[in-house]
Amino acid sequence: MGLEFDTATLALLSTLAVLCAVTYQLRPAPPLVHPFLLGRQAVPAPTRLPDQSPVYTNASNGGARPPYRPDRSLRTLHDILKQSQSVLEGATGSLAQAAGHGHKLVQLVLHLRAGLANRFEKDTGLVLVALDDPTDALLVTLALATSPYKPVVLGPGTDAPDSLPAEDLVATISSPGRFTGARSRQAAVEIVLGPSAEDEARELLESGKVLHAEGKDGAAAAGEPSDVVLSIVSDGQTLQFTNQNLTASLVSWGSLFPVSPRATKPTLKDSVLSFHHPSTPYGFGLALYLIAHSAGLAFPTLSAGSETNPEELAQLLKAKTRPPATLIFAPASQLAKPLYTLVLSEMLGDSSFIVRAARDGKLRLLRQGVLTKQSFWDALLYKGLRQDTNLIRLRALFLSAPPALDQSRFETLRAALGCPVAQTLAHPVLLSPLCAAHMFDVQRLPPPGAKRLRGNEKNHVGPPTLGMEVKLVGDEEEIAAGRIKGQLVVRTPVLPLPATLDPSRLASDTSLPALPPYPGEEYPLQKAAPIWYKTGIVAEISTEGTVWIDESDSRALVK
């Protein structure tokens, strides 16, 4: 005899089944990172000097100094390129267009190096590089840095240094109209790359391919970690970077990608958009880190001279010439506002009730430490938004300060994109971030000294990255009272050769143990004490070990 149910019983059972399904769908997921780890992100030293805070280091290394390279086999720039499988995706530069699609980045660098070496009349010397297109700039810089010719790289809008010795200048490689007059005439060879010079780019690559096949690759010996491989003009200084600076920067960049609860570092499967020009120290260090991990690279450019509009950003994200981005790196001043406006504009077509419910639901998940793309609220609203903006594959967004962004904007972006949105702190003399927020830190916290949230708080920029030792120099009474505030001072192997830094920004500290002797040229201060660099950034460190910058008192930084 079978079971029989009346209509009321069936309706009740159906309602219970629906409620169970909805409850299961709306269940809170576990936090992505243990709260204890977020409460202790930097480790202070047990002692300090008067008017100074203790020295803070990244907590993930237990307070110990990290190695100068991520792997024993990576000693020089040659080693980094040798292991890379990176491909240029949707590149717009004259060199990438001349090569066509599907070529590996390292392959283009090898051919370009041979082609350039064949053009130069001297065996060694300096080459002035001033290219507006980021892809062209990266390829030329890498080609010259692994050759006997050393590049002196100028970022967009940067003037050539007057101190550059004319007798050592072998060539200039520039965009059309970048150099005119005496500076260009000093060089024996002038090469122009850009939209109107496709034939020049094609000739360099084709001739270089033939020469490379014949064994005339124009390569220099791999050298030692202490060898200077390139110079970058930044912050009014011609900064010289060694192989050790490059490998140490890879260690610092690794702080952005935690290994728990799952591996997050870039891989061959990633398609990365970088809005940082590789002719700046920060942009070059980022590009080198992505190359070391074989990620696919693209360097889109937004309109210069005016505020980026959301429509332009939307067209850039939807470009058919490259896969959808999985990682995006950009200056906060350049991308944060148009992306925020784009996200809001994409939600205008939906019901205000749906938008409000989805927003509140995702914010509740963020309060519980949960970042997800698979919630009920994503299916209701945000999944369609990500498809419309071509950000369906995005797994992390990194925005470099200054400026520090409002915490409310971070929450809106995290809710809409369903992935980590973290802030880093860039400095014009460093190849890597000075500080970087944890990818899965979605806490909304009041700044140091405040007891409650008021709604317009700026976000912190995270703890010091691996390899960075920082301390704050400020008022003794405030520091003794527990208010750790002052000018940020840093000691790190990522810093360029001290002889190329502004001496007025250097400080010595004989009471603290020094780093191992700096490779390369000997610098007078280093004989007696370790070198600390005054960043000019006024900041405060919270009890969690995160850094909060005070932009009203800080000098102008990276754009």
Would you say residue 517 lies in a domain? no
Residue 302 shares a structural domain with residue 426: yes
pLDDT above 60 (res 556)? no
Return the bridge partners of 127, or none.
151, 171
Q: What is the pLDDT of residue 525?
A: 40
Residue 274's CATH number: 3.40.50
Residue 286 shares a structural domain with residue 403: yes
pLDDT, one tens digit per residue, over 313-372 is 999 999 888 899 999 999 999 999 999 999 999 888 777 888 888 888 888 888 888 888
pLDDT above 70 (res 75)? yes
Q: What is the pLDDT of residue 466?
A: 93
Q: What is the mean pLDDT of residues 379-388?
A: 90
Pairing mode of beta strands 484-491, 469-473: antiparallel
Q: What is the pLDDT of residue 528?
A: 44
Residue 283 shares a structural domain with residue 430: yes
pLDDT above 50 (res 557)? no
Task: Tell me the two tokens of residue 495.
Answer: 């810093």
Residue 215 shares a structural domain with residue 258: no
Least confident of 234-243, 302-311, 393-402: 302-311
Q: Report the distance separating Cα 210 and Cα 219, nearest Å.
A: 15
Q: What is the pLDDT of residue 524?
A: 44
- Grade residue 306 by pLDDT with cuts at 50, 70 and 90: low
Would you say residue 302 lies in a domain? yes
pLDDT above 70 (res 274)? yes
- Grade residue 526 by pLDDT with cuts at 50, 70 and 90: very low
Residue 210 shares a structural domain with residue 298: no
Nearest-10 crossing angle of helices 281-292, 134-145 = 70
Residue 214 shares a structural domain with residue 81: yes
Provide the H-helix boundaries in 506-558: 524-528
Among 138-147, 350-359, 550-559, the range with the most confident prediction by mean pLDDT is 138-147
Residue 276 shares a structural domain with residue 423: yes
Number of domains in the chain: 2
Residue 154 shares a structural domain with residue 267: no
Q: What is the mean pLDDT of residues 112-129?
A: 89
Q: What is the pLDDT of residue 465?
A: 95
The more confidently predicted of residues 188 and 559 is: 188
8 Å CB contact between 436 and 254: no
What share of the chain has pLDDT > 90, as a percent?
Answer: 43
Q: Which residue has the tokens 């029989």?
A: 4
Query: Average model confidence (pLDDT) for the chain?
Result: 85
Return the bridge partners of 181, or none.
none
Would you say residue 318 lies in a domain? yes
Q: Which residue has the tokens 């749906």?
A: 354
Q: What is the pLDDT of residue 28?
A: 62
Residue 176 shares a structural domain with residue 316: no
Q: What is the mean pLDDT of residues 81-98?
A: 86
Least confident of 108-117, 256-265, 520-529: 520-529
pLDDT above 80 (res 503)? yes
The more confidently predicted of residues 351 and 77 is: 77
The more confidently predicted of residues 266 and 29 is: 266
Nearest CA to 67 among 463, 467, 494? 467
Pairing mode of beta strands 56-58, 42-44: antiparallel
Q: Report the distance separating Cα 109 and Cα 270, nearest Å.
A: 21
Q: What is the pLDDT of residue 302?
A: 80
Among 222, 256, 287, which residue terminates a domain?
A: 222
Q: Which residue has the tokens 């301390």?
A: 471
pLDDT above 80 (res 264)? yes
Q: What is the mean pLDDT of residues 360-385?
A: 87
Would you say residue 22 lies in a domain? no
What share of the chain has pLDDT > 70, as a percent?
Answer: 89
pLDDT above 50 (res 527)? no
Nearest CA to 112 among 173, 189, 183? 173
Least confident of 296-305, 510-519, 532-541, 544-553: 510-519
- Grade residue 89 by pLDDT with cuts at 50, 70 and 90: confident
Chain-centre distance for alpha carbon 94: 24
8 Å CB contact between 161 and 238: yes
pLDDT above 90 (res 176)? no
Would you say residue 469 lies in a domain? no
Q: What is the pLDDT of residue 195?
A: 80
Would you say residue 116 lies in a domain? yes
**Cα dihedral sign, 71-77-80-83:** negative
Q: What is the pLDDT of residue 36?
A: 65
Among 407, 436, 465, which residue terminates a domain?
A: 436
Residue 128 shares a structural domain with residue 259: no
Q: What is the mean pLDDT of residues 535-547?
A: 92
8 Å CB contact between 196 and 215: no
Q: What is the pLDDT of residue 559?
A: 34
8 Å CB contact between 264 and 258: yes
Task: Tell me the two tokens of residue 266.
Answer: 């870039």
The more confidently predicted of residues 3 and 558 is: 3
Would you say residue 208 lies in a domain? yes
Q: Kindly report the CA angle at 550 between 547 and 556, in degrees rounded to 5?
A: 110
Q: What is the mean pLDDT of residues 484-490?
A: 93
pLDDT above 80 (res 25)? no
The 10 Å CB-count burial string (b at 16+, else e) for 192-203 is bbbeebeebbee
Task: Tell me the two tokens of residue 274.
Answer: 């970088």
Residue 144 shares a structural domain with residue 263: no
Task: Give the total residue count for the chain.
Answer: 559
Nearest CA to 429 among 379, 355, 348, 500? 500
Can you give the residue range of the structural domain that contains 355? Answer: 248-436
Q: Which pTM was predicted?
A: 0.90
Would you say residue 475 lies in a domain? no
Residue 157 shares a structural domain with residue 258: no
- Grade residue 307 by pLDDT with cuts at 50, 70 and 90: low
- Grade residue 552 by pLDDT with cuts at 50, 70 and 90: confident
Among 436, 453, 470, which residue terminates a domain?
A: 436
Q: What is the pLDDT of residue 247?
A: 95
